[in-house]
Amino acid sequence: MDAATSFSTAPAVFDERILTREARLGIVGLGYAGLPLAILFADAGFPVTGIDLNEERVGWVNERRPYLVDVPRERYDAAGDRLSATSDYAAVSELDALTICVPTPLSKTRTPDISYVVGAAEAVSKQLRPGQLVILQSTTYPGTTLEILLPILEAGGRKVGSDFFLGYAPERVDPGNKTWSVRTTPKLVAGVTEECRRRTEAIYSQIVDTVVPVSSPTVAETAKLHENTFRAVNIALANELALMCDRLGISVWEVIDAASTKPFAFLAHYPGPGLGGDCIPVVPHFLAWRLREYGYSAQLIDAAHEVNASMPQYVVQKVSDALNESGRPIKGSRILLLGMAYKAGVHDTRESPSLEVLRQLLMRGGEVSYCDPWVSEVELDETIHRRVAWGPEAVDAADCVVMLTPHRQFVDEPLWDRARLVVDTRNVAPPGPHVWTI
């Protein structure tokens, strides 16, 4: 097939290349969302090119070296030689369709940073070919696809829906989840035009079980934010319930278990040391920030943030109370933290509340160490902290053990009885006079 036919804008040609697996696909950004997506497309039979400016990550992909918990070596083997990676955006010119999966972090002032999205879009625009489908998957504020990406890609007189096609399909990945994967989680898709949406749906229907089309990219962008905001607000409610139950002298865990017996109109959420990851603590602020431009204050989002952000301080106070009860201050006490990752079974420490607990305990003079089978070291305030091995020696040496992230290793090899004191933020330690819970 010659280049002119290969890059035809005709729907029939596009559909044929998808069905025959001749379509060449690209994934821009090979992180937690991008790499699993690239692997899944390659596993489905498509030639896939991953594009990432991180040369080390590119090398790992080409060497089939695992670096994410959801992409072990056997996943690379399933993809075969259909997957390759490069740091050169010139590869875009050879693709039929590509998905942008770059980060969208939150600034210190709680405003969205879409510089990675803009940079990727500008680089793609320079290589854009007739008939190409560009899909944004990065989580972002409502209007990004239409107001930011579309003008960049239409530069030079190109017209969406005829010269190229633009869609939005938000990621819904839950790292470490053994039940819901990229394939089994329904995929929201939208397009700037009807044909943009149709092509986006055609691409993703090859790798996911259920595709859910919506009317516009802005609807899809907002739906993604609502999903994470729902979690953030309900976790904040559980965290505030923990604070209230603490004052009432009752167990928040028993209260939630009791409420969970209601067979309708209740969905259990549980307290913890705070929120972590790159979605739930972050993306609700995208929505709040965007709505301020319309003169609307998202008060519930702001209130939920305040509650969730206060939890590390509450945990530190629990540690202080537990140590004081045994006649020790935090200063000079040996404190062992269990878990630096933000959730069990992953090595991701982004926004992890464990880091803030570590910081505050160090500031109070504690001699703090940590165990985490997934995280070998963390950098905090320009200092590297390295893990210690989970085992009797670490527990015996500690004046207080603090459960923060319930990795299976901690639960399957419990050493609670050896600990002098336990502060349990996850309700995994058996009750005892030396166990303090939130």
- Residues identified as active-site: 279
Pairing mode, strands 383-386 and 377-380: antiparallel
Q: How far is it, in rounded angstroms, from Cα 385 to Cα 397?
A: 17
Q: Of 193, 142, 179, 149, whose CA–CA distance to 9 is shortest?
A: 193
Confirm if 366 and 346 have CB atoms less than 8 A apart.
no
Sign of CA dihedral 368, 352, 387, 432: positive
- 402 CB-contact burial (10 Å; exposed 0-12 / middle 13-18 / buried 19+): buried
CA dist list (Å): 158 to 12, 126, 136, 151, 153: 21, 12, 18, 10, 7
**Residue 436 burial (10 A CB sphere; 0-12, 13-18, 19+):** buried
State the Cα–Cα distance between residues 192 and 171, nearest whole angstrom: 18
Where are the extended beta strands (E) located within 145-191?
165-168, 187-191
For residue 380, give the 3-state DSSP assignment. strand
| Amino acid making up residue 319 | V
Closest by CA to 85, choosing from 36, 22, 38, is: 38
How far is Cα 179 from Cα 140, in angstroms, rounded to an integer? 26
Angle between helices 217-248 and 299-325 (to 10 degrees): 30
